[in-house]
Chains A and B, each alone.
Chain A
């Protein structure tokens, strides 16, 4: 019971945190790109767009930062046995991540907000790029820690603890580079999809204001192309990860496919209705595709769950080494499905907002695309969440693959204590989520800043700027 609650708590605080992280990483990069376009071309339209999305970036980052604090301490609170086991290895990247996230991000965000008027445009542009670099670097270090849990490298187990023997091996972990490219590109695609939905909606409804309409049409074209490109790259990175998974975590691979028996030239299951194990009512399979994904070879062998379980028992002793198959199987499909939908949506966006069409995003076609783009803003969040559920659930029953089982990592606590903290986090996070979404919607409705607007509009309150100039909070 306590273990189940601790796992739920970790799931809740991580998934919630990760609603905000990709938006932060992605919007920092997008805003930096737009501000660069504004600077190099002296273009007022890009400047207005970068301010508009910059404001959304700032609303969003606060929740991302504070929910990140919970995660650093979650390991000690609920997973203290795990912390003792991995501290020597896990602590360093976690501390570096915290340092980078806060020192780089908070310093340069401060400079970016407060320096819009006082810094030279070139230096001001540099600050937002430093923010973006900080977000990407902190992703690298936290993923280094996670990738070590998926595929431990550069360590020795001494006296019941994993001890670091080679720090560079941790940074050179192939699983890390797969996960890093996949995650950061997915973050870019997340922000791109948000920008596409908002731009399409604003372009569609600002027929009366040609200036706004032209700016948001440009935003829609830009974000459609950006989202399409980054989502395709996410898929390519995912494909590389699949081969790494087949090598290092074959059980996760088999679970993703609910492949019980080892097969040569294994087919890829697109969808299954009914029981995954015995006799599905209905399923669609693509012949040979799984072998192709796993090994880049038409007839290669992909190991099945039953065989892997038998060899794991021989290796690690009695017990079940099989993750929760339905959750692993379906979370993988939801992630991939949402990703494909993002490619289709952004492809449609490129076509619908094309310059040649003149009155693009207007008329019936424009209306339908705008609707799709608005609802489509949910897609990256679905893909991100289920992607992490797949990655983490697929690793079970291991908390560190092959080294430590999840139940062995938990703290010694009462059920009531864990239940209380879980309830506390759920209540507070729900309130934060609602308030943040409401503020994001308000920001999305705001008019664009007029050309050449000063800094007060950056983070300041609507309408109250005049009272005390220079007050941001």
Chain B
């Protein structure tokens, strides 16, 4: 096991990067889909919103598949326990991602207002639900869930929906919406961009409050200590950085500095994932009841052949 220890840590970090990349990218396309009904006045606005993300959404989703595949390859036990345990939550995400994906392609194929409205709703819900469920799941990762020995989670969907996780879900919804509004201000022009910019202030304020609340609550609630874990200061600092970046993004977009604002809201997503990952380490699936029941990097690793790693 020893020679693989560093390699496995590298894989853990790499998978964290893939998740961060996924949420950064899909975060803004979720956000655009979520806010599109609020900022669109007419059919042209709706199409402008969809066209802003149309060419990139499936490329963005690649990051999820890559993160999933890398987890499967490098930590089969993590992949298995996570998907088996968070079964219905992941099923919900899958189902909504499926209907969302086809909504992009189907919407414009028939020139009929009711047909378009239907797929607009599908596109909205297909982004709204995963945006919340990802936040719930990531808060559960970092806060830990009750596990039986061997890392088995069996409390079902209700067990995932405790108050901290719900706050985390709302935080991700608000943060992605802000990220999407900033992206729309950046990519579109005229009235649409102006409305997105104005809406960014209240949405940004909500994101700050919810994200800040989640960070504070997770830090205060604590979790059974895992041997070898990092000092609590690092994840806390990253969490605070995420809140600060979201605040900066909100201020920058209302000042008309869209490019910088997009960088800032993106940084908020990245720092939040960094906070989750650094607080989980060296566990991959931490337990909220007994630390020993959680899965660690070493226990979950498949010890991939170094040749595959190079590949």
Contact = CB atoms under 8 A, between A and B. Distances in A.
Given A98-B65, A417-B87, A471-B48, A88 B303 contact: yes
A98 B69 contact: yes
Contacts of B101: 62, 65-66, 69
B106 A420 contact: no
A161 B311 contact: no
A65 B99 contact: no
Given A67-B98, A464-B111, A473 B54 contact: yes
Interface string A445-473: 00000000000000111111001100111
A283 interface: no
B50 interface: yes
Nearest to A91: B73
Given A77-B83, A84-B77, A110 B111 contact: no
Range for the number of chain B residues in contact with chain A: 35 or more
Contacts of A161: 76, 302
B48 to A, nearest CB: 7
Interface in B87-118: 87-88, 90-91, 94-95, 97-99, 101-102, 104-111
B68 interface: yes
Contacts of A439: 106, 109-110
B70 A80 contact: no
A411 interface: yes
Contact of A411 (B84, B97, B102, B303): B84
Contact of B305 (A103, A167, A467, A471): A167
| Prevailing SS type, chain A contact patch | helix
Given A92-B73, A417-B88, A98 B102 contact: no
Contacts of A472: 51, 54-55, 108
Contact of B111 (A66, A106, A462): A462
A275 B64 CA distance: 49
B102 A76 contact: no
A219 B291 CA distance: 66
B223 interface: no
Nearest to B102: A62
Contacts of A467: 43-44
A121 interface: no
A95 interface: yes
Nearest to A463: B111
A69 B97 contact: yes
A92 B311 contact: yes
A72 B106 CA distance: 23
Contact of A91 (B62, B72, B303): B72
B82 interface: yes
Interface string A415-440: 00100110011001000100110010
A66 B97 contact: yes
Interface in A48-99: 58-59, 62-63, 65-67, 69-70, 72-73, 75-77, 80-81, 83-88, 90-92, 94-99
B105 A59 contact: yes
Contacts of A428: 95, 98-99
Contacts of A85: 76
A80 to B, nearest CB: 3
B69 A76 contact: no
| Prevailing SS type, chain B contact patch | helix
A167 B311 contact: yes
Task: Kindly name the residue among A76, A80, A432, A460 whose own CB sees the greatest number of chain B CB atoms within 10 A.
Answer: A76
A83 B61 contact: no
B69 A88 contact: no
B70 A95 contact: yes
Nearest to B308: A92
B228 to A, nearest CB: 22
B293 interface: no
B257 interface: no
B198 interface: no
Contact of A163 (B50, B88, B303): B303
A102 interface: yes
Contacts of A66: 97-98, 101-102
A460 B108 contact: yes
Interface string B277-291: 000000000000000
Contact of A76 (B44, B47, B84): B84
Contact of B87 (A110, A413, A425, A442): A413
Contact of B88 (A62, A75, A420): A420
B97 A75 contact: no
Given A80-B84, A99-B62, A459-B108, A70 B79 contact: no
Interface in A354-402: none
Contacts of B97: 66, 69
Interface string A93-118: 01111110111001100100010000
Given A66-B101, A87-B79, A165-B305, A77 B59 contact: no
Contacts of B47: 468, 471, 473
A448 B87 CA distance: 47
Contacts of A63: 102
Contacts of A72: 65, 68-69, 72
A167 B308 contact: yes
Interface in B31-51: 43-44, 47-48, 50-51
The 6 closest A-B pairs by CB, nearest first: A87-B76, A91-B73, A95-B69, A76-B83, A80-B80, A62-B105
Given A76-B68, A81-B80, A420-B88, 19 more contacts: A69-B97, A72-B69, A76-B72, A76-B80, A76-B82, A87-B302, A88-B302, A90-B72, A91-B70, A94-B73, A96-B311, A103-B59, A103-B62, A106-B59, A107-B59, A164-B308, A167-B308, A467-B43, A473-B108
15 contacts: A80-B83, A88-B76, A91-B73, A95-B69, A95-B70, A98-B62, A99-B65, A102-B61, A102-B62, A102-B65, A163-B303, A421-B88, A424-B95, A442-B110, A468-B44
